[in-house]
Structure 1
Amino acid sequence: MEKYHLDRDLKIFYVTASSFPEGIPAAYDQLTTLVPLNKDRILYGVSRPETGPIIYRAGLEELYEGEAEKYGCESLILKKGTYISSILKDYMKAPQLIGCEFRDLLDTPGLDPQGYCVEVYLSDVEVRCMVKLES
């Protein structure tokens, strides 16, 4: 685990999974059907429990003002600041390890109670898992 500093707020627009974790692949399929992807776009997974079960959102950073609305998507802000994080390699070989990694990260003292569990898909083989620390 390491600290990772997000130097600016990120506006993420998203598709909400119908269930967690079963609905995650369909949410990404729906998102990538709506928005043409290229090698420069980074996929995000953003989740946290909200009044009960975990709500999972498959998202992209908004590249220009109004992009979320163009695609009919809701959006959220990932707040700048310090996150506890780790990078998983070859995550597609065992995607369940992402959940295991978040369980470890969530044991870190001083987490922001309003923060999200954030997956940043750096490439086809690497994902950064991160959770915001209190300011």
Structure 2
Amino acid sequence: MELYSIKHDVKVFCVEAKSFPRGIMEAFDRLNKIVKNMEGRDVFGISKPQNGVIRYRAAASENFDGEGIKLGLSPFSIQKGFYLGETLMNWQQNEMMIMNIFNRLVADKRLDGSAHCIEWYKSPSELLCLALMRTDMVTGDVTELSL
């Protein structure tokens, strides 16, 4: 696991999955149909347990303030701060590993238990799994993410 920093809140817009995990691909498909041009955007998966069920959202970065609302999509901000993270290469062939990584991340005592888990799809083959840390628990080398 590595330590990462996001310097500014990241504004995104989301499509919520109807179920988890089965509805994930359908949520990304709906997002891709609504947003005509995904080129140059950061793409994310955002999840959080609520009432015993995982709420999952497929998300993309805004190109301008209010873009998501204009498209009829829900806005969301990925919190700035320090994150514990792990990279998964060839994630499409290893989708089952995503849950294993997040299970390891959320078990870490340094995390902010109220925060969302973030999947950043950096490329068709590289996925960075992130979980927000408590600020008072950050020690060691930190890599700044450019989002």
For 2:25, the equivalent position in structure 1 comes to 25
Find the counterpart in structure 2 of residue 72 from structure 1.
Answer: 72
Aligned ranges 1:2-41 → 2 under 5 Å: 2-41=2-41
- Secondary structure at the counterpart of residue 41 of structure 2: coil
Unpaired runs of at least 5, structure 2: 136-147
Number of paired residues?
135
Alignment TM-score, normalising by the size of structure 2 = 0.88
- Distance, in Å, in 2 between the alignment partners of 1:12 and 1:42 is 9
Give the percent of matched residue pairs that are identical in Structure 1 and Structure 2.
34
- Distance in 1, matches of 2:124 and 2:6, equals 22
Q: Deviations over 1:48-97 (max 9, x none)?
A: 11122000000011120110111101112111110000110001012111
Aligned-partner SS, 2:28? helix
Report the AA paired with residue 61 of structure 1: S
Quote the Cα distance in structure 1 between the aligned partners of 2:129 and 2:45. 9
Runs of 4+ in 1 over 2 A off after TM superposition: 36-39
TM-score by length of 1: 0.96
- Quote how far apart the aligned CAs of 1:7 are: 0.9
Q: What is aligned with 1:111? A: 111
Q: Secondary structure at the match of 1:46?
A: strand
Counterpart Cα distance in 1 of 2:27 and 2:36:
15
The range that moved more, 16-25 or 35-44, is 35-44
Aligned partner letter, 2:43: L
Q: Distance in 1 between matches of 2:120 and 2:46?
A: 9
| Alignment-mate amino acid for residue 36 of structure 1 | K
**1:81-124 CA deviation, whole Å, 9 max, x = no partner?**
10000110001012111111101111111211221110000000
37-46 or 97-106, which moves further after superposition? 37-46
Q: Distance in 2 between matches of 1:107 and 1:58?
A: 24
CA distance in 1, matches of 2:87, 2:32: 23
1:38-117 correspondence to structure 2 within 5 Å: 38-117=38-117
Aligned residue identity for 1:94:
N
The CA RMSD measured in Å over matched residues stands at 1.0
Q: Which runs of 5+ in 1 are unaligned?
A: none
